[in-house]
Structure 1
Amino acid sequence: MKEHSIKLAILRALAQGGFHSGEELGTMLGVSRAAISKHIKGIQAWGVDVYRVQGKGYQLAEPMQLLDEQTLQAQFGDLVELIPVIDSTNQYLLDRADSLQSGAVCLAEYQAKGRGRRGREWVSPFGANLYMSMYWRLDAGMAAAMGLSLVVGVAIVEALEELGLEGVKLKWPNDLYYQDKKLAGILVEMSGQAGAAANLVIGMGMNLTMPEKTEGITQPWASLKDVANTGTLDRNELAITLINTLHQALTDYELKGMQGFVTRWNRLDNFLDRPIKLIMGPREITGICRGINEQGAVLLETDNGVESFIGGEISLRLSKCE
């Protein structure tokens, strides 16, 4: 954290709005104008669009609201930790699972090594989105975690609806979509031994104000700012709402499992009754999506009737008749 302290202080100043000269920033932080220029380049490498106007100084291209650890800890105490610059929020909790209390949360402004499902990179520009992971001890063991990402997805979309954000849908098994574009991803990772409690880490990355020029993303994506009637997003309020939602969903899941979630999922299924492809290794199975069953499997209506599949991934390439 210490090596990033000057960059973070510069960002806090820029987030207040307006222009800030290199001389002003240097005086405030006790460094030279040349050092400020170097740190600005480092900030830009984090995906922040900062521009400079001769005679005026530096300014953010878009407004930025930073997460505030005091605000978050006022709600949750030491259960919540904000680490502005981190490799991966999921990995941070996994490395400390043996010493964490169930419900512990790690948030970040930027992930250097953010990851999604199947080891893919999760592009994580600074301050633009929400990167959050929660640790949960599941006493019923790893086998009981089947379907957990589905429950988490439903809970998050329902929380967004309570905040007045309509139109967000789900893609089996772990993504949130808006207008057929990816809005957020859920990554559940676990450790433990057979017959023992499972250490779960539930990570979520949600696009809030993703810059248009963001590189490294190979599929269509949306930001929460695109959702109708969002107004100004308060990132701290959103984080608090989602932490409460996750805690309640995981508590309910421990008590009831998937009970009651099938109907809730199918209401939000982005691909329900649409022709899709399910990719399972070298196999491609084409059919009409019919939602999920109580085991969390995706249901496809094929020439063989309605079949269920636990593994695989729904392709973003829809069938020709779509």
Structure 2
Amino acid sequence: MKEHTVKLAILKQLSQGGFHSGEELGQQFGVSRAAISKHIKGIQQWGVDIFRIQGKGYQLAKPLQLLDEKMLSENTTKPLELIPIIDSTNQYLLERVDSLQSGSVCIAEYQGKGRGRRGREWVSPFGSNLYMSMFWRLDAGMAAAMGLSLVVGVAVVEALQEVGIEGVKLKWPNDLYYQDKKLAGILVEMSGQAGAAANLVIGMGMNLMMPAQTPGITQPWTSVEEILQGRSFDRNQLAVALVNALHQVLSDYELHGMNHFVERWNPLDNFLGRKVKLLMGEREIVGIERGINEQGAVLLETEQGIEAFIGGEISLRGQD
């Protein structure tokens, strides 16, 4: 973190708007203009678009809304840590499960090694999105965690609705969609022993203001900025709403399991009543998607009738 102090200070200054000369920044932070230039290049490698005009200095290509740890902590009920530059918020919590309070949160501005389902890379440019993970100790054990990503998805969509972001849907088992484009992904990782409490780390990456030309993404995606079409939103307020919604829904899940979440999931199902295919290794099954059941399995209407499918190595794809 220490090696990023000057870069983060430069970003904070640039986020106030306008041009800032290399000389001005150098004097402010006690370094040379050449050092400022080097720091700017490092910031650009985080995915921040900064341009320079001779005689004027540096300016952000678009406004940057930084996260505020004090505001986040004051408006949530459990320990929260903002680590601007991190490898992975999930990995950070996984390495500390023995010392964390259940409900602890880690949020970042940038992930160097963000990951999604099956170890895929999660592209994580600085300040464009929301990268957060929550630790939860589930006393009922690992078997009781089945379907947890579905419950988290419901909580996130309902929290978005509460802050005026409408039309977001769920794709089984762990994605959020808007008009058939990916908005966010959920990754639940767990550890523990049979008969003991399960240590869960629930990670989420949500596209907020990601530049259209962000490299490394192969599937159609959207962002909160695109959904709102010019209406403003506050990254900090959105983060608070999501953290508090997760705390509430995980407490509910501990008490009731999947009961009553099925009826909350199915109306939000992006592929409900649509033709889909399930990919399971070499096997491919085509049918009409009919929502989920109380075990968290996806239901497909095939020639054999309604069939339930569940497991970690299944991918669902739209067919229409």
Q: State the TM-score bracket (shorter-chain normalisation).
A: over 0.9
Q: Offset at 1:314?
A: 3.7
- Counterpart in the other structure of 1:313: 314
Q: Which amino acid aligns with 1:313?
A: I
- Counterpart in the other structure of 1:247: 247
CA distance in 2, matches of 1:253, 1:165: 24
- Counterpart in the other structure of 1:151: 151
Q: What value does the CA root-mean-square deviation take over the aligned residues?
A: 1.1
Instruction: Tell me the secondary structure at the aligned position of residue 75 of structure 2.
Output: helix
Q: Is the 8 A contact 1:275 1:287 kept in 2?
A: yes
Q: Offset at 1:284?
A: 1.0
Q: Offset at 1:62?
A: 1.0
CA distance in 2, matches of 1:105, 1:230: 30
Instruction: Tell me the secondary structure at the aligned position of residue 76 of structure 1.
Output: coil
Q: Which amino acid aligns with 1:12?
A: K
The answer to whether residue 267 in structure 2 is matched with residue 280 in structure 1 is no
Q: Is the 8 A contact 2:290 2:299 kept in 1?
A: yes
Instruction: Tell me the secondary structure at the aligned position of residue 206 of structure 1.
Output: strand
Runs of at least 4 residues of structure 1 off by over 6 A? none
Q: Is the 8 A contact 1:129 1:205 kept in 2?
A: yes
- Counterpart in the other structure of 1:127: 127
* Aligned residue runs from structure 1 range 256-295, under 5 A: 256-295=256-295
- Counterpart in the other structure of 2:103: 103
Q: Deviations over 1:25-79 (max 9, x none)?
A: 1111111111111111100100111111111111111111000111112223770
Q: Offset at 1:194?
A: 0.4
CA distance in 2, matches of 1:267, 1:117: 24
Identity %: 74
5+ residue gaps in structure 1?
A: none
Q: Is the 8 A contact 2:78 2:103 kept in 1?
A: no
Q: Which amino acid aligns with 2:126?
A: F
Q: Is the 8 A contact 2:76 2:243 kept in 1?
A: no
Q: Is the 8 A contact 1:164 1:230 kept in 2?
A: no
- Counterpart in the other structure of 1:22: 22
Q: Is the 8 A contact 2:84 2:108 kept in 1?
A: yes
Q: Which amino acid aligns with 2:173?
A: P
Output the TM-score relative to the length of structure 1. 0.97
Instruction: Tell me the secondary structure at the aligned position of residue 98 of structure 2.
Output: helix
Q: Offset at 1:97?
A: 0.2
Q: Deviations over 1:189-228 (max 9, x none)?
A: 0111000001100000000001111001110100011114
Q: Which amino acid aligns with 1:25?
A: L
CA distance in 2, matches of 1:48, 1:271: 35
- Counterpart in the other structure of 1:238: 238
Q: Is the 8 A contact 2:90 2:202 kept in 1?
A: yes
- Is the alpha carbon distance of 1:4 and 1:151 closer, same or farther for their aligned partners in structure 2, counting shifts above 3 Å? same
- Counterpart in the other structure of 1:115: 115
- Is the alpha carbon distance of 1:161 and 1:140 closer, same or farther for their aligned partners in structure 2, counting shifts above 3 Å? same
